[in-house]
Amino acid sequence: MPPVSSPVGLRFENIDKRYGGLLALRGVSLTIAPGECVVFAGRNGSGKTTLLRIAARLVRPSRGTLSFSGDSTGGNENTVRPGFVAHATMVYDELTAEENLLLFARLQCVAQPENRVESLLQEVGLEGRRASLVRTFSRGMRQRMAIARALLHEPSVLLLDEPATGLDPQGVTWLAGTIRLLRDSGRTILMSLHGESEISSLGTRAVRLDAGSVVADTRTGATFRSILTFADA
C-alpha cells in the first residue's frame, strides 16, 4: 500500500442532522487529525452511520460544518473524495466484478484503470471470479467487492461503516490486515463497529455516540476498551 503523500484530517463543527422529527445527530464536534484511525461505537440508531455519510458528503448536515484539512490542495472539500464502505455493497448485481470496478475507476478518472482493477482484484482475492456477475457472489465476496471499490482511487480518507459485516473469520483477518496496511500508510480512517474485535484493536482513538451525541472520546487503553464494549469506564 503506497504511503499517502499528504494526509487529510477532518473537522466536524457543531453538526446537527434532522430527519423530519428525528434528531439523528446533536451538536457533534470532533477534530480528527491526519492519519488517525477512529473507531465509532454506539448502539443501533446512535448516529454512527449518519456521521459517516455526512463525512462522505452523501448527507448534508441540518446545521454545522464539515471541513477537511491538511491535504496539499488546501483542504477544499471538493478535492477530497473519501473511500466509503457502507452497509449496502454499492456495486451492481448485474455487472461482473471486473465491470463494476472498471465502471467506478473510469468515473473517478483513475489512471490506467485496467491495471488498477487487476491489482485490486488480486488484493481482495477475487481475481478468479472477475468475470462472474456480482449477483452470484456470497455476502463475504460482495463485501470484498465493496472494499475494492472504495480503494479504487487510493483515497486519503476511508470511511468504513461496519466493514466486517458478512465476513467469515478468515475474511475478518484479511480485512484487519488490509486496514492495518491502510492505517500504516498514513490514511485517515473512520470506522463504525459493534464491540471489540480484531479490527477494533487497530483503532488509535475510540468515540462513543449515544442518541446522536458524543458521550466518550479517548485514545487510552482501559477507557478505549470500555467504549467498545459499552462498559462504564
Partner 1 sequence: MSLLPNTAVLFGKELRTEFRSRELLTTTVVFILIVLFMFSISFRPTSDESRQIGPGLLWLAFLFAASLMLQHSFLSEQHNDTLSALRLSVSDPFAIFFAKLAANTLFLLLTELLLLPIFATMYNVPIVPVFHWLLLVFFLGSLGTAIVGTAFSAISAQARMRELLLPLLMLPLLTPILIVSTEVTKGLFDRAPYLQWEGVGFLAVFDLVFLTALWLFGEYLLEE
56 is a site residue for partner 1 (CB under 8 A): yes
Q: Does 82 bind partner 1 (CB under 8 A)?
A: yes
**Contact flag: residue 90 with partner 1 (CB under 8 A):** yes
HSE, CB side, 13 Å, CA atoms: give it for residue 159: 22
Residue the block writes with cell 470511511: 159
Whole-angstrom Cα distance, residue 62 to residue 221? 34
Residues 139-178 contacting partner 1, CB under 8 A: 149
Name which of 23 and 95 has its Cβ closer to partner 1. Answer: 95
| Only segment of 67-75, 84-92, 170-178, 184-192 that touches partner 1 (CB under 8 A) | 84-92
When binding is defined by CB under 8 A, the residue of 88, 111, 131, 221 that contacts partner 1 is 88
Beta-strand pair 205-210/213-218: antiparallel
Tell me the window of 27-35, 76-84, 191-199, 211-219 that interacts with partner 1 (CB under 8 A).
76-84
From candidates 46, 49, 89, 188, binder to partner 1 by CB under 8 A? 89
User: Given candidates 12, 40, 84, 137, which one binds partner 1 under the rule CB under 8 A?
Assistant: 84
Interface with partner 1 includes 95 (CB under 8 A)? yes
Closest CA to 167 of 139, 199, 203, 125: 139
CB 202 to partner 1: min, Å: 23
Smallest separation, CB 138 to partner 1 (Å): 15
Q: How many residues bind partner 1 (CB under 8 A)?
A: 26
As a whole number of angstroms, the distance between CA 147 and CA 138 comes to 14
Least Cβ distance, residue 54 to partner 1 (angstroms): 10
Q: Are 39 and 32 in contact (CB under 8 A)?
A: no
Near partner 1 in 98-127, by CB under 8 A: 99, 103-104, 106-109
Q: Does 58 bind partner 1 (CB under 8 A)?
A: yes
Which of 24, 25, 39, 86: binder of partner 1 (CB under 8 A)?
A: 86
Q: What residue ranges bind partner 1 (CB under 8 A)?
A: 53, 56, 58-60, 81-82, 84, 86-95, 99, 103-104, 106-109, 149
